[in-house]
Amino acid sequence: MANIRPLHFIGMQPAKHILTATSLTAEEFKKTLELALDIKANPVKYSNAMNQKTLLMLFQKPSLRTRVSFETGMTKMGGHAIMYSVADSPLGVKETIADTAHVLERMVDIVMARLNKRADMREFAANSKIPIINALDDFAHPCQMLADFQTILEHRGKLEGTVLSYFGDVANNVTYDLMRSCALLGLECHVCGPAEAGFAIEQEVIDECNALNAKTGGKLLITHNVAEACKGTNVVYTDTFLSYHIPKEELPRRREVFKPFQVNEGLMAQCEKDCIFMHCLPATRGDEVSAGVMDGPQSVIFDEAENRMWAQMALLINLVYGFK
């Protein structure tokens, strides 16, 4: 009896976890984008792709787009999604994170987790025999990257030649994964934000991207000069000044620090004529982006938001059945 293994694990390959954008190879990243485009164009073809499959969604941080996109995506593919808030029953308190992971791997097929800390995400994945998808922590946001680059592919027709420039709060999960994604795909990434202490990119991320760029031919520019960052740019990206974990009383100071990096009509005019504007949302008009840009003709933010669903559907299929 001691040697009996659960049927759930018989013949299973080691689970592939998606903790950052570079948890995927460049080939896997591109295959996921290709599949996402096909699912979007032919949703009926995939209507039973997740039949009898269950996704558990763990939320320590709230998110409209993450819950709706994953839950709707599973429903469209004939699967089932369960939403569970670990804000109500804290992760790692009543039982260890490892014990939670081992329980869940006996019941569901895949877990999506949106957690506060990268250490918790890594511990969860290290103890799970089923795939863990990072739906955001303090270090990465890989699902957003797949949606972003699907959107770029749709609007530009190709990824090659993309020069993506991020402006504003550079010390955050979205910026880090944009840097990683560009490096992985051999693209050029400009990151432009304040020089003040406490707003710098983590050196670990810079080192990872430099190492990747040396292999792929990608380029990384980190600057505090808006005009320098705008040169050659065909994708402009920004994010909120006040992420969930930042106290609201810090907003006045952050507005002051980030104001020179607001994406507005003047900034966009310094970029390429075919430049598009992207934002992972939610956004605050008048803070990180002007209303004119946010609601203007160069903005693709709602295509980008919709693509969270299609890109994640493709990722779920690839993680359950393998990248083909």
- Cβ atoms within 10 Å of 21's Cβ, excluding its own: 27
- Provide CATH 3.40.50.1370 ranges for the chain: 47-140, 144-304
pLDDT at position 61: 87
pLDDT at position 13: 63
The helix/strand/coil state of 140 is: coil
pLDDT at position 201: 98
Sign (positive/negative) of CA torsion 126, 130, 135, 140? Answer: positive
Phi, psi angle pair for 25, to nearest 5°? -75, 165
pLDDT at position 8: 53
Structure tokens of 122?
């890594």
Task: Check if the beta carbon of residue 6 is closer than 8 Å to that of residue 164.
Answer: no
Q: Is 190 a catalytic residue?
A: no
Task: Check if the beta carbon of residue 179 is closer than 8 Å to that of residue 191.
Answer: yes
Task: Check if the beta carbon of residue 72 is closer than 8 Å to that of residue 102.
Answer: no
pLDDT at position 62: 86
The letter for the amino acid at 18 is: I
Sign (positive/negative) of CA torsion 23, 26, 28, 33? Answer: positive
The helix/strand/coil state of 261 is: helix
Q: Which of 217, 153, 142, 146 is nearest to 185 (CA)?
A: 217
pLDDT at position 89: 73
Q: Which of 122, 141, 180, 279 is catalytic?
A: 141
Q: Is 144 a catalytic residue?
A: yes
Q: Is 308 a catalytic residue?
A: yes
Query: Under CATH, which architecture does the 47-140 domain have?
Result: 3-Layer(aba) Sandwich (3.40)
The letter for the amino acid at 194 is: P
Task: Check if the beta carbon of residue 146 is closer than 8 Å to that of residue 314.
Answer: yes
Q: Which of 280, 287, 298, 312 is catalytic?
A: 280
Task: Check if the beta carbon of residue 155 is closer than 8 Å to that of residue 220.
Answer: no
Q: Is 177 a catalytic residue?
A: no
Q: What topology is assigned to 144-304 in CATH?
A: Rossmann fold (3.40.50)
Q: Which of 239, 254, 279, 312 is catalytic?
A: 239
Q: Is 230 a catalytic residue?
A: no
The letter for the amino acid at 283 is: A
Task: Check if the beta carbon of residue 229 is closer than 8 Å to that of residue 192.
Answer: yes
Q: Which of 114, 122, 180, 190 is catalytic?
A: 114
The helix/strand/coil state of 7 is: helix
Q: Which of 17, 190, 279, 308 is catalytic?
A: 308
Q: Is 189 a catalytic residue?
A: no
| Helix ranges (DSSP H) in the chain | 26-41, 64-76, 97-104, 118-126, 142-156, 173-185, 203-216, 226-230, 251-258, 265-269, 291-294, 301-321
Distance of CA 30 to the CA centre of its chain: 15
- Cβ atoms within 10 Å of 34's Cβ, excluding its own: 13
pLDDT tens per residue, the chain (324 residues)?
344 444 454 445 679 999 999 999 999 999 999 999 999 999 999 999 999 999 999 999 889 999 999 999 999 999 999 999 987 777 888 899 999 999 999 999 999 999 999 999 999 999 999 999 999 999 999 999 999 999 999 999 999 999 999 999 999 999 999 999 999 999 999 999 999 988 999 999 999 999 999 999 999 999 999 999 999 999 999 999 877 667 888 889 999 999 999 999 999 999 999 999 999 999 999 999 999 999 999 999 999 999 999 999 999 999 999 998
* Overall pTM > 0.85: yes
Phi, psi angle pair for 233, to nearest 5°? -75, 130
Task: Check if the beta carbon of residue 110 is closer than 8 Å to that of residue 55.
Answer: yes
Q: Which of 60, 144, 150, 298 is catalytic?
A: 144
